[in-house]
């Protein structure tokens, strides 16, 4: 029998090394997901949900954790990036959706927000700086560091997974533990949006994290990093079977996504409890205020410094991930412009927007993100449902029907939210269940998918080869 210490898996990499690669990649993915927005949503949810925290946080985990993990799995199953999914919705949709998705979570919104939030929640409270010059200097340094970390995309795993992520987790664990030990939750009635449907309220809060769209963007970084680390592990060993490598890649991506999701869930629950346990939680306007106060109440000035480090680490890791994901995508879309040129461009754009203020950017980006979400969720679920049918039915018309309805419905919802023909639009689409929760697109999209599925089944039967049985010779 072969010595177990020298056993290799089907890819020529030791089992221990393979597990290490997946674990470090999972930590990288967690750090890319967990940004400033993720840090401040759960505490305010805990404060507002009050005695209904359990169903509210479960709803939050549904859209803030489960959906992003499913999106990573969908990317692993379908191919290398979101374009592989989007192309099935048609040529126009396949070209425009990935671009809008990457820009909305990148340089036009989420990326500059990391710098702006870092300055307003980590720097201002500690040093009292509140000037345009201070903002410009800070954001220049912030995005210079982010660009340096993302300049070589294949080293991101080591930089994020091995150093920044463990530091972030330790700081969060310390803050949450101190709050839970020192304070006792008050028996507070839930706020209005968590009184009658706390699960739905939490669902919407998680929906607003944008992580489902971010997962579609981060998938390319995860797969690229796994490929690189796998190749480095093989070294000078001969090339392994391509099918075995493909299976390993899909399996490792899924495992990394699940691990990252579990970490996100644990942290979200802990942060939600901070909002529930802190004294007089109703006095705070947002999660940043809750966490800042929690740090100060438990550890004084030292706590404020720790909180500042938590915010900086969370924002920095997300900024690095977004620069890498968007730059790699656009360098693939337009190969004549190299990755590093895109990285520099997006870093400069984000620096300018973060320094100037995000009010205008937020006003434009929020409706765009709301418009993209239904299509993104539809893409993920259709990609995951199709393999469950055992390859017997290929979604063709079903895919396009569902995507078309999701896009049209979300476009109408976006127009209504902007005040463009609100009364007329609400009369036309207000009949759909969950319309008031901005989820009215779900039922029409499911109906469109079912209609398209019937068409696909009929077409498949009509085109299937027929076997003619000849009568036996007499």
The predicted-structure confidence for 27-68, as pLDDT tens digits, reads as follows 878 877 877 667 888 999 999 998 899 999 999 999 899 999
Summarize the confidence of residues 9-33 as an average pLDDT.
72
234 is a domain residue: yes
The domain that holds 274 is classified in CATH as: 1.20.1740.10
Q: Tens digits of per-residue pLDDT, 88-118? A: 888 888 888 988 888 888 888 888 888 888 8
How many domains does the chain contain in total? 1
Q: Which residue bears the tokens 């409706």?
A: 367
The pLDDT value recorded for residue 165 is: 65
Check: CB of residue 13 under 8 Å from CB of residue 230. yes
Task: List C-alpha distances in Å: 469 to 25, 82, 149, 461, 472.
Answer: 55, 46, 67, 18, 9
The pLDDT value recorded for residue 156 is: 58
The pLDDT value recorded for residue 311 is: 80
418 is a domain residue: no
422 is a domain residue: no
By the 10 Å C-beta count (0-12 exposed, 13-18 middle, 19+ buried), 323 is classed as: buried
344 is a domain residue: yes
65-66-72-76 Cα dihedral, nearest 10 degrees? 150
Residue 9 has pLDDT above 90, yes or no: no
Report residue 71 as tokens: 């999106």
Q: Tell me what the pLDDT averaged over the chain comes to.
A: 81
The pLDDT value recorded for residue 226 is: 79
292 is a domain residue: yes
Confidence of residue 464 (pLDDT cuts 50, 70, 90): low
Check: CB of residue 165 under 8 Å from CB of residue 30. yes
Cross-strand pairs, 14: 8
467 is a domain residue: no
The pLDDT value recorded for residue 7 is: 40
459 is a domain residue: no
Q: Tens digits of per-residue pLDDT, 184-236? A: 887 888 888 788 888 888 887 887 777 888 888 777 778 777 777 766 665 54
The pLDDT value recorded for residue 12 is: 52
The pLDDT value recorded for residue 2 is: 41
Q: Which residue range(s) make up the domain with 139?
A: 12-357
286 is a domain residue: yes
């Amino acid at each position: 029998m072969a010595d177990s210490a020298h056993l290799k898996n089907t890819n020529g990499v030791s089992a221990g090394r393979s597990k290490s690669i997946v674990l470090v990649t999972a930590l990288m993915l967690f750090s890319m997901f967990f940004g400033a927005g993720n840090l401040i949503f759960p505490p305010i949810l805990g404060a507002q949900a009050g005695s209904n925290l359990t169903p509210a946080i479960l709803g939050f985990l549904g859209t803030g954790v489960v959906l992003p993990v499913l999106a990573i799995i969908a990317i692993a199953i379908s191919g290398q990036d979101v374009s592989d999914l989007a192309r099935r919705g048609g040529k126009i949709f396949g070209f425009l959706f990935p671009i809008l998705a990457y820009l909305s979570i990148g340089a036009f919104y989420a990326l500059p927000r990391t710098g702006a939030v870092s300055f307003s929640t980590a720097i201002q409270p500690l040093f009292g700086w509140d000037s345009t010059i201070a903002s410009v200097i800070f954001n220049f340094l912030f995005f210079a560091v982010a660009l340096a970390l993302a300049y070589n995309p294949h080293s991101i795993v080591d930089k994020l997974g091995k150093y920044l992520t463990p530091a972030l987790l330790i700081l969060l664990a310390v803050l949450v533990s101190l709050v839970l030990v020192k304070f006792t939750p008050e028996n507070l009635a839930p706020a209005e949006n968590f009184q009658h449907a706390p699960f739905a309220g939490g669902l919407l809060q998680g929906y607003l994290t944008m992580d489902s769209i971010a997962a579609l963007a981060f998938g390319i970084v995860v797969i690229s990093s796994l490929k690189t680390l796998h190749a480095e592990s093989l070294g000078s060993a001969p090339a392994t079977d391509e099918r075995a490598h493909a299976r390993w890649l899909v399996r490792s991506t899924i495992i990394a996504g699940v691990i990252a999701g579990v970490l996100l869930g644990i942290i979200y629950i802990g942060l939600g409890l901070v909002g529930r346990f802190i004294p007089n939680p109703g006095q705070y306007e947002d999660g940043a205020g809750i966490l800042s106060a929690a740090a100060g109440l438990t550890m004084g000035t030292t706590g404020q410094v720790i909180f500042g480090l938590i915010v900086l680490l969370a924002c920095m890791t997300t900024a690095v991930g977004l620069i890498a994901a968007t730059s790699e995508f656009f360098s693939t879309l337009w190969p004549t412009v190299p990755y590093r040129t895109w990285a520099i461009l997006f870093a400069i754009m984000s620096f300018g927007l973060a320094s100037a203020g995000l009010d205008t950017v937020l006003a434009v980006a929020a409706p765009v993100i709301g418009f993209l979400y239904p299509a993104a969720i539809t893409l993920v679920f259709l990609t995951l449902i199709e393999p469950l049918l055992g390859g017997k039915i290929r979604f063709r018309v079903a895919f396009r029907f569902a995507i078309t309805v999701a896009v049209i419905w979300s476009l109408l919802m976006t127009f209504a939210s902007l005040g463009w023909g609100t009364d007329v639009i609400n009369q036309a689409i207000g009949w759909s269940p969950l319309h008031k929760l901005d989820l009215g697109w779900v039922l029409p999209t499911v109906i469109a998918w079912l209609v398209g599925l019937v068409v696909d089944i009929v077409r498949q039967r009509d085109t299937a080869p027929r076997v003619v049985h000849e009568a036996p010779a007499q």
